[in-house]
Structure 1
Amino acid sequence: MDLIPKPGQVVSAAANVAHSVMYGGLADLRPMPRNLIYDGTRRELYHYRPAEGVSSSGDPVLLVMPLAAPSYCFDLRRGCSLVEHLVQQGRPTYLVEYGQISFADRRLGMEHWIDEVIPAAIRETSAHAGGRPVHVVGWSLGGVFGLLAAADQSDLPIASVTAVGTPFDVQQVPLVAPLRPLLNLTDGRGAITRAYRAIGGAPTPLVTWAFQLASIQKLLTKPLAVAVNLDDRDYLAQLEAVDRFTRNMTAYPGRTFGQLYHRFVKGNALRSGQLELSGRTISVADITAPVLVFAGATDGIAPVRSVEVLLPMLTGSREVRFEIVPGGHLGMLTGRAARDTTWRALDEWMAQWDGQAVPAKRTSTKKAAAATKASAKKTPATKASTKRAAAKKAPAKAPAKKAPAKKTAAAKAPANKTAAKKAPAKKAATKRAPAKKASSDGATIGTNRSRRYGSAGSRSLNL
């Protein structure tokens, strides 16, 4: 509202307050209808029902949530629900959910999700969708799970992998960086270690507090923001939905929390692109599927610098694309601006890889080399037929003397020289590019000059 509200703003503000008091809120929090199609230990796979009158199209998408977050991070509220958007687009949409973590789950480690939960969800999704490859979309820690599962099990039916707000360099996280030197002094015997072992993990209140602390500025200025936007129904509805999300955070299982604390927070293990797990090394360089990476311009949990370090590690990926989008950690996924930024980029990315075969595995490279070697050893009959084919083509090529054309090309040489003189201008533009990249923390979609990182074939969104 204006400092001196207009009559229309006063009327809208009064209507919003009255509706909120009478009906308990402004947000439409109805969940999108879904069916449970598979379940197991701390894993439930849901299929969202197709929208009426919308035909199904494209390969299925599997939404992978992080630990401790409620499943409606992807289905926040009507109008700001990624699930609703995908279903209305006709995209077969699935979600893997972990349920309420309890003390009984304290022995579950990251192996449970990387080795069992995510791979099983991908295979079940593919089977339910008629054997089609799956677009895996993970938010926050869900992105880590999706990437590591894809790297570890190359036979999974994956069409592409998308990581949204997934930090790979914890040292760049403002909330954690100042504490790391102190945490490393305890050498695994500190108060935090003893506490999470005693209570079996990280309890819900602690998880909620940590999430709120990452956006403390918004928390402190919330009363003022509500007053200023009292006439904006959509803004107030979004605040209600985010508050519900924050109030329903869940706990971390003890062993998984210990791994995250010691390996990620203290050891910054993901910075190398590799993770030692159950006696083996998982490397994201082994991912062959196309990978899309999102970073939020104002994300306090996964800042741009902590996310973009992943890009040069994906050396085996068929294509890598990087997008900087508006919003914080949750806002970049399901905020009001995400409708025209994150979701649009995701739509175009999945459409690009729909209907394409699963990328060849590393064993196929050996087969291709063997086939090439075999074809190089031609039999005498093959060589003879090659000579006959060349002899037949020779007369057709003989009269084709293009000497005049060469002269014409020579005549055009000055034009080429003129173009060559303009080359320094292009070099100057290239030198200016790093300056834009340095200011990418405040960039929005369409202004990230490194969006097509390592992927010359990606096309622009023209935003």
Structure 2
Amino acid sequence: MDLVPKPDQLVAAAGNVAHVVMYGGLADLRPMPRTLIDEGTLREVYHYRPAVGVRSQGDPVLLVTPLAAPAVCFDLRRGCSLVQHFVEAGRRTYLVEYGNVSFRDRNLGLEHWVEEVVPTAVREVSAHAGGRPVHVVGWSLGGIFAMLAAADAPDLPIASLTVVGSPVDVTKVPMVAPLRPLLDLTRGHGLVTRTYRAVGGAPTPLVRWAFQLSSFQKLVTKPIAIATHLDDADFLAQIEAVDRFTAQMTAYPGRSFGQLYHRFAKGNALASGAVQVREHAVDLADVTAPVLVFAGANDGIAPVAAVKAVVPLLRGAREVQFEIVPGGHLGMLTGRAARGSTWRVLDEWIDRWSGSGTEAEEPTKAPARKRAATKKTATKKSATKKSATKKSATKRTATKKASATKTATKKSSTKKTATTSAAPEPPASPDTIGSNPTRRYGSGGSRALSR
């Protein structure tokens, strides 16, 4: 609102406040309808139902969530939901999420996601979509999981990879870089290590606090922002949706958190391009699918430099495209500005690397139908020509018998026949096979069709 609100702004603000009081909020938080198609240990693969009146077609899209983040990161609210955007555009849309992490999952490491969860989800989605290759879209740590899975299993049916806000070089993350020298002093036996081992991972309150700390300035100024935007229903709805997302964050499994802490935060292993997974190294240079990389202009968790560091590491990729889009860590994925930036680029990318769908197959079928029609027409014309020849032969036989009984008539008939034979042949009909140079198919092809 303006410093001195206008009458229409006051009316809109009063209406928004009344709506919040009466209905509890302004955001439409209904999730997009979906169906579970596969599940396993910390793995749930969902298929989003097609929109009413919209036919789903083309290659499927698989959305990969990061650890600790709820699936609503891709389905934040109606009007700001990447899932809704894909479904209403007629794309086959799928998502893999991990459910609630508990103490019993403390021994699961990164290999569980890199070798089991993501590869299984890709194969299940491909099979559910009729064997089509899959466009994999991963946000934050989900993007890192997707890249490592693609590098570890080159046979996965992946059409393209999209990595959204995935930090690769943590030395370029302002929140982490100043702490790394202090972390190294403990040699892996410090307070952080003892804590996550004791509690079995990173607890939910700590994860939520860390996410909010990444946008500390927005957290502090949030009351002022709300007060100055009371007349903007879309702004207020977005804040409600982000608050719900933050409240639903979950914990990290102990072993996975330890690997992320020691290998990524302290060791910065991913910046070299290779990460140890179980007993072998997984190198990002082994990714062969085309890769689209997004960085948020105002992202505090994954700054532009930390994300862009992955580009030279993807040496084996068919193509690597890097884009800087407006927004913070979550906003670049599903913020209000993402509708005209991230989503638009993502649509163009998926369309570019998609295989031929139903419409693309039609031009291939059309010539086949045309050739069949040409063959049928040629056969019909050939039969007509044979029938005409047979009638002509019958007529000549009858004439010959009649002329045998009358000599004068025979001479006259013979003279007429000679005169007729000497006359020049009429030009070939344009319908005769091989005689029309403007025919769609050449003479050789036409003759082949007539056999």
Contact 1:159 1:356 in 2 (8 A): no
SS of the aligned residue for 1:135 comes to strand
2:67 aligns to what?
67
Report the Cα distance in structure 1 between the residues aligned to 2:47 and 2:146, rounded to whole angstroms. 18
Report the Cα distance in structure 2 between the residues aligned to 1:240 and 1:279, rounded to whole angstroms. 44
- In the TM superposition, 1:59-458 aligns within 5 A as 59-355=59-355
1:16 aligns to what?
16
Report the Cα distance in structure 2 between the residues aligned to 1:301 and 1:18, rounded to whole angstroms. 36
Report the Cα distance in structure 2 between the residues aligned to 1:316 and 1:347, rounded to whole angstroms. 24
User: Structure 1: which amino acid aligns with 2:154?
Assistant: S
Once the 2 structures are TM-superposed, how far is the Cα of residue 225 of structure 1 from its aligned partner? Answer: 0.3
Contact 1:58 1:351 in 2 (8 A): no
Once the 2 structures are TM-superposed, how far is the Cα of residue 276 of structure 1 from its aligned partner? Answer: 1.1
Contact 2:159 2:353 in 1 (8 A): yes
Report the Cα distance in structure 2 between the residues aligned to 1:99 and 1:45, rounded to whole angstroms. 11
2:366 aligns to what?
none
CA distance 1:176–1:356, shift in 2 (3 Å): farther
Q: Which moved more, 1:48-57 or 1:144-153?
A: 48-57
SS of the aligned residue for 1:276 comes to strand
Report the Cα distance in structure 2 between the residues aligned to 1:181 and 1:338, rounded to whole angstroms. 36
Give the paired residue count.
Answer: 357
TM-score (structure 2 length as normaliser) = 0.79
Report the Cα distance in structure 2 between the residues aligned to 1:230 and 1:174, rounded to whole angstroms. 33
**Offset from partner CA, 1:12-62 (integer Å, 9 cap, x none):** 000000000100000000000000000011100000000111111221000
Once the 2 structures are TM-superposed, how far is the Cα of residue 122 of structure 1 from its aligned partner? Answer: 0.1
**Offset from partner CA, 1:204-231 (integer Å, 9 cap, x none):** 0000000000000000000110011110
SS of the aligned residue for 1:59 comes to strand
User: Structure 2: which amino acid aligns with 1:136?
Assistant: V
TM-score (structure 1 length as normaliser) = 0.77
1:372 aligns to what?
none
**Offset from partner CA, 1:54-112 (integer Å, 9 cap, x none):** 11122100000000001110000000000000000000000001000000000000000
Structure 1's consecutive aligned runs of 4 or more residues displaced over 3 angstroms after TM superposition are none
Contact 1:289 1:319 in 2 (8 A): yes
**Offset from partner CA, 1:227-266 (integer Å, 9 cap, x none):** 1111000000000000010111100000000000000001
SS of the aligned residue for 1:231 comes to coil
Report the Cα distance in structure 1 between the residues aligned to 2:122 and 2:343, rounded to whole angstroms. 21
User: Structure 2: which amino acid aligns with 1:276?
Assistant: Q
Asked which structure has the greater CA Rg, the reply is 2
SS of the aligned residue for 1:225 comes to helix
Report the Cα distance in structure 2 between the residues aligned to 1:180 and 1:353, rounded to whole angstroms. 40
Report the Cα distance in structure 1 between the residues aligned to 2:214 and 2:172, rounded to whole angstroms. 13
Contact 1:285 1:317 in 2 (8 A): yes
Contact 1:290 1:318 in 2 (8 A): yes
% identity of equivalent residues: 72
Report the Cα distance in structure 2 between the residues aligned to 1:58 and 1:297, rounded to whole angstroms. 32
Once the 2 structures are TM-superposed, how far is the Cα of residue 349 of structure 1 from its aligned partner? Answer: 0.1
User: Structure 2: which amino acid aligns with 1:130?
Assistant: G
2:379 aligns to what?
none
Report the Cα distance in structure 1 between the residues aligned to 2:356 and 2:304, rounded to whole angstroms. 30
Contact 2:58 2:356 in 1 (8 A): no
User: Structure 2: which amino acid aligns with 1:177?
Assistant: A
Once the 2 structures are TM-superposed, how far is the Cα of residue 356 of structure 1 from its aligned partner? Answer: 6.6
2:6 pairs with 1:6? yes
Report the Cα distance in structure 2 between the residues aligned to 1:356 and 1:279, rounded to whole angstroms. 39
SS of the aligned residue for 1:51 comes to coil
**Offset from partner CA, 1:252-302 (integer Å, 9 cap, x none):** 000000000000001111100110111111111111100000000000000
Q: Which runs of no fewer than 5 residues in structure 2 stay unpaired?
A: 358-451
Report the Cα distance in structure 1 between the residues aligned to 2:74 and 2:184, rounded to whole angstroms. 35
Report the Cα distance in structure 2 between the residues aligned to 1:78 and 1:48, rounded to whole angstroms. 14
Report the Cα distance in structure 1 between the residues aligned to 2:279 and 2:111, rounded to whole angstroms. 11
Contact 1:45 1:97 in 2 (8 A): yes
Cα RMSD (Å): 0.9
Contact 1:293 1:323 in 2 (8 A): yes
Report the Cα distance in structure 2 between the residues aligned to 1:340 and 1:178, rounded to whole angstroms. 35
User: Structure 2: which amino acid aligns with 1:110?
Assistant: L
**Offset from partner CA, 1:141-200 (integer Å, 9 cap, x none):** 000000000001000000000000000001111111111000110000001100000000
Q: Which moved more, 1:269-278 or 1:121-130?
A: 269-278
User: Structure 2: which amino acid aligns with 1:328?
Assistant: G
SS of the aligned residue for 1:44 comes to strand
